[in-house]
A and B are shown apart, each in its own frame.
Chain A
Amino acid sequence: MGDLIRVKTLFFGVYGELAASREDVTELPGDSTVSDLVEALRGPRGFDWLPDRVVVAVNQTYAESGTVLADGDEVALIPPVAGG
């Protein structure tokens, strides 16, 4: 277990509505991945409406569930996009 990291999580679209918030800071153990963050949100935070394979962006770039997070990262939870 390394040091704790703090990541900023952004909720957009329907996720923002269900979280009743646009932004959240989550503390995670060092070396946590995107999956770990999603599990922390689904379990302890009770956001069980997050889909299993939620799309995320880390620091404004689409990222995989295995991406390792660093302190200060910005993670956006991205519902199905509907532009155009």
Chain B
Amino acid sequence: MASERTPDRDVAIETGITTDPIGRLDAFDDLSTHADGAVLVFQGRVRETNEGRKVSGLSYEAYGEMAEKELAAICGEAAASFEIGAVRAVHRVGDLELGDVAVVVGVAAPHRNACYEASRFVIEQVKVRLPVWKHERYADGETGWVGAPAVTKAASR
């Protein structure tokens, strides 16, 4: 069991979309086996500013069933593309406060290169594919959908 892992081995994949708070980094202690010399945990957190505006909080909406499938597909692609042992990704939905963890990506791999590459791949794919939307609340009392097309902004006035 100590042998170095190969790309065709079984990669442990665990994904989820949840309304529960995403907790501590040590929840990832179980991610690796002794075959993995590298573990990375990336957290995306709610930032206090966006495009120059002061943010007071936000709410994520998801197309739940599709988001579950898409996140599993993304992690499956990471498992097939990089020499890793495990990948875990969870995205939170619902109301979040500043500093709350919105998304977490954990990867374990024998070596650091594949670990970094797989981690980066997963979060970048989440950004472009995961059917999740962000409704920000601003300090001035306004709210808005992040990235909404211009044509919709004109219509909502």
Binding site for B on A (CB under 8 A): 10, 12-18, 48-51, 57, 60-62, 76, 78-84
Q: How far is the CA of A13 from the CA of B59 in the complex (A)?
A: 10
Give chain B's interface residues, CB within 8 Å of chain A.
Answer: 44, 60-63, 65-67, 69, 91, 102-103, 123, 126-135, 145-149, 151-152, 154-156
Is there contact, CB below 8 Å, between B155 and A81?
Answer: no
When the two chains form the complex, which single residue of B60, B65, B133 contacts A79, counting CB atoms closer than 8 Å? B133
Q: How many A-B residue pairs have CB under 8 A?
A: 93
Interface contact B126-A83, CB-CB below 8 Å: yes
Kindly identify which residue among B66, B123, B132, B151 contacts A51, using a CB–CB cutoff of 8 Å: B151
Decide yes or no: A17 and B145 within 8 Å by CB, A57-B66, A83-B126 being known contacts. yes
Given contacts A12-B131, A18-B156, A60-B66, contact A83 B148 (CB under 8 A): no
Contacts of B131 in A (CB 8 A): 12, 57, 76, 78, 81, 83
Q: How far is the CA of A14 from the CA of B62 in the complex (A)?
A: 12
Q: Determine whether the beta carbon of A81 is less than 8 Å from that of B135.
A: no
CA gap between A49 and B150 in the complex, in Å: 9
For residue B148, which residues in chain A have a CB less than 8 angstroms away from its CB? 13-14, 79-80
